Amino acid sequence: MIEVKDVVAGYNAEVDILRGMTLHAEQKEIVTLLGPNGCGKSTLLKTIAGYLLPRKGQVLLQGQDVSRVPVHQKVRRCRLGFVPQTDTVFASLSIRENHHVGEYYQSKEDNQRCIGPCLMSELTTVLGIIPVAG
């Protein structure tokens, strides 16, 4: 479960992009953030992931306040990551290889549980319909 409670955050002290943002998403629930450019969608995701710290409010994962947990610890302990909106993350790697980079700090058992046969099947289906750049 991810919960954002009354979060105020932004990229500098003078401008708050998020002004009292609240969001609740249960485990396995699909939530879509929609809005025009500049409305705070990426700012919210960066705040949840820990790239930005909220000036006020809380970010909770499974009921635990992780508002001040550094990014690298969120990746390792909370298995929470953020993929920026770019054409490529690691340009020399395939989509599948980029996806597997996140497994680096996890045990084999955690990877089997998280990237189990069902998810790998779905990923393989998605990769099968994405055109390969040549």
Summarised one tens digit per residue, pLDDT across range 94-115 is 766 766 666 666 666 655 555 4
Q: Determine the pLDDT at residue 85.
A: 63
Q: Nearest CA to 45 among 62, 35, 33? A: 33
- Give the torsion through C-alpha atoms of 56, 70, 31, 88, to 10 deg: 130
Of 15-29, 49-63, 89-103, the least confident: 89-103
Domain ranges of the chain: 1-85, 86-134
Give the residue, 42 or 106, on which the prediction is more confident.
42
Are residues 70 and 50 in contact, defined by beta-carbon separation less than 8 angstroms? yes
Q: 134 pLDDT exceeds 50?
A: no
Are residues 31 and 25 in contact, defined by beta-carbon separation less than 8 angstroms? yes
With 0-12 / 13-18 / 19 or more C-beta atoms within 10 angstroms meaning exposed / middle / buried, residue 60 is middle
> Domain 1-85 sits in which CATH superfamily?
P-loop containing nucleotide triphosphate hydrolases (3.40.50.300)
Q: 36 pLDDT exceeds 80?
A: yes
pLDDT bracket for residue 48 (50, 70, 90): very high
Classify residue 6 as left (phi > 0), alpha (psi -120 to 50) or beta.
Answer: left
pLDDT bracket for residue 47 (50, 70, 90): very high
